[in-house]
A and B are shown apart, each in its own frame.
Chain A
């Protein structure tokens, strides 16, 4: 990972009075690989923030830090005005933050409704037994609400299509009673029809204004349509922070193209100058 180059713009921490989440100067490395160099962002109440960036830019790492799955090396987070250091995914969930992972985190051998309630199981209290009936009916309600029609909720999810699995993962996040939702490529495995359903759902949630979202998307058209604001991560730092109204597919593309240009120039320089180890 190179040092900060001259033409690089790092967006300094910004904030708004109605922020629910603030992330400041987050750094994270995995051994010799620096995933996040210095990332700061903020999320306003009811806002949908699009998080963009090339493969390996650090988007997923940032999501995993906010949701409590990984710990940052340095930097701080603030949730509704107070210090936020999640000890675990469960802890983050207790703080009202839930996540839809890029890898979906579904359990093949568990059924649809079991996956939807994994780690949020409903029980027949005071007994430690699972309330299967309640979980099934709540899962059915959630899926109906999105418009996903699965005839059976007791089949293992390994038998479902990629799009169906993705829908279940999204439904699990959306109906988790979280007020901050992190979505890592929620449309990745979906066709237009299923993807449209999810975008429609996100639109409805946005209109409600109760849930704030950070969403990683690759399709810029979807970003401009769905998000209020975009942040772009390049090389482990935020390079762009703009309301979607003030940007365009062309501008976003240009940033990526520029990044590739820089990378190629750097590779050429390295090739001419010294031999790589």
Chain B
């Protein structure tokens, strides 16, 4: 660790005050190792490497794996999870968690259905549904940051309540998603809103890109990290802690509502199935953590969450092609998550020693 040296810097202070060149002291290493080491040092680097290894493994074993057709099969396994995880990352960096995204995910398409059947045009129906999701986020934010209830409990209660509302308004019936047809090719509207082959992927990439820029390049992102890393210090420095928390709850809820609608349009039907919603919630949290976001807050990456979701999707898809039975699949997936996390932690230590962020 370099220590403060007496004012020698003063004499050499450049007018522009430029930062010194980034050259961490480094042993002479072979170039490929250097590249690998750099990749591992990035917060999302380890999961990228682990995912590439996994894809290589399946590609070598299974000729059906590295094909365009299979990639298209794989998409719905990870794009929706990636969007949910991207929103969750913001709250997890705050040191909070939002379980109610499974509820907003479930409820939003039914709100959309009710509005569309009530005569509201399709696009406004979606917008109003997402505004309702934003209201859920506001409520979560208020209860957590103003009343001061733990976010796990708050959003667990909200999750049950939203699932209940969904079951009530749907009468527990499966419904056809407005704006879609079960047969024939989808309309332009439906193609954009999830039915197009790459629609969800494009949504995921765009959302992840925007949220990653917000996280790393804006005041909002900086303050999100500040609140998660040192809540008291952030408040003392003038960060509006409650506003940041509430805003992130809103982002999380709207992202989840959007995924619910995208999935409804893609599959052309909506099912009030709380257990399926809870399952995708858990995948989203797993994706965020695998991607390099800390559950305790203070650090995280949105891009990593998307890669984490890809990792989970590849495992599921690969195991299906391998012919692993549905029962065994969970076991393999669970073990794979544990191994990935152990690797992540190991790589995290390498990162800490490297003296980089």
What residues on B are CB-neighbors of A148 within 8 Å? 4, 9
Q: How many chain A residues touch B (Cβ–Cβ < 8 Å)?
A: 52
Chain B contacts with A in 215-243, Cβ cutoff 8 A: 217-220, 222-223, 225-226, 228-230, 232-240
Residue A245 CB within 8 A of the other chain: no
Bound Cα distance from A160 to B357, whole angstroms: 13
Q: Is the CB of A89 within 8 A of B236?
A: yes
Bound Cα distance from A151 to B8, whole angstroms: 12
Chain A contacts with B in 100-130, Cβ cutoff 8 A: 101, 103-111, 114, 118-119, 121, 123, 128-130
Residue A56 CB within 8 A of the other chain: no
What residues on B are CB-neighbors of A145 within 8 Å? 10, 13
Bound Cα distance from A74 to B13, whole angstroms: 48
Q: Measured between C-beta atoms, what is the minimum distance from B42 to chain A in Å?
A: 14
What residues on A are CB-neighbors of B5 within 8 Å? 149
Residues 146-163 of chain A: 1 if any B CB is under 8 Å from the residue's CB, otherwise 0? 011111111110011101
Q: Measured between C-beta atoms, what is the minimum distance from B6 to chain A in Å?
A: 6
Give which listed residue, A90, A121, A143, A163, contacts B222 with CB less than 8 A.
A121
What residues on B are CB-neighbors of A163 within 8 Å? 4
Bound Cα distance from A256 to B298, whole angstroms: 42
Q: Measured between C-beta atoms, what is the minimum distance from A179 to chain B in Å?
A: 17
Residue B2 CB within 8 A of the other chain: yes
Give which listed residue, B16, B22, B219, B240, contacts A123 with CB less than 8 A.
B219
B-contacting 9-mer, from A11-19, A133-141, A267-275: A133-141
Bound Cα distance from A141 to B223, whole angstroms: 24
Chain B CB within 10 A, most for which of A107, A132, A151 = A107
What residues on A are CB-neighbors of B7 within 8 Å? 147, 149, 197
What residues on A are CB-neighbors of B16 within 8 Å? 137
Residues of B in contact with A, size category: 35 or more
Bound Cα distance from A58 to B18, whole angstroms: 42
Q: Is the CB of B237 within 8 A of A114?
A: no
Residue A69 CB within 8 A of the other chain: yes
Q: Is the CB of A110 within 8 A of B17?
A: no
Q: Is the CB of B229 within 8 A of A105?
A: no
Residue A167 CB within 8 A of the other chain: yes
Residue A93 CB within 8 A of the other chain: yes
Residue A194 CB within 8 A of the other chain: yes
What residues on B are CB-neighbors of A137 within 8 Å? 16-19
Bound Cα distance from A89 to B239, whole angstroms: 9
Q: Is the CB of B236 within 8 A of A193?
A: no
Tell me the nearest residue of chain B to A138, going by C-beta: B17
Residues 177-198 of chain A: 1 if any B CB is under 8 Å from the residue's CB, otherwise 0? 0000000000000000110010
Tell me the nearest residue of chain A to B356, going by C-beta: A155
Q: Is the CB of A121 within 8 A of B233?
A: no
Q: Is the CB of B18 within 8 A of A161?
A: no
Q: Is the CB of A141 within 8 A of B13?
A: yes
Q: Is the CB of A110 within 8 A of B238?
A: no
What residues on A are CB-neighbors of B230 within 8 Å? 105-108
Tell me the nearest residue of chain B to A112, going by C-beta: B19
Q: Measured between C-beta atoms, what is the minimum distance from A66 to chain B in Å?
A: 13
Residue B299 CB within 8 A of the other chain: yes
Q: Measured between C-beta atoms, what is the minimum distance from A61 to chain B in Å?
A: 13
Q: Is the CB of B217 within 8 A of A130?
A: yes
Q: Is the CB of B4 within 8 A of A167?
A: yes
A118-B237, A159-B355, A194-B4 known; A109+B298 contact, CB < 8 A: yes
Q: Measured between C-beta atoms, what is the minimum distance from B141 to chain A in Å?
A: 19
Residue A164 CB within 8 A of the other chain: yes
Q: Is the CB of A110 within 8 A of B219?
A: no
Residue B3 CB within 8 A of the other chain: yes
Chain B contacts with A in 269-320, Cβ cutoff 8 A: 298-299
Q: Is the CB of B19 within 8 A of A136?
A: yes
A-B contact pairs, 12 of them (CB 8 A): A69-B236, A105-B230, A105-B237, A107-B230, A108-B230, A110-B226, A118-B239, A119-B237, A136-B18, A140-B18, A147-B6, A160-B1
**Closest CB pairs A-B (n = 9):** A147-B7, A89-B238, A119-B238, A105-B236, A141-B17, A144-B13, A140-B17, A105-B233, A137-B17
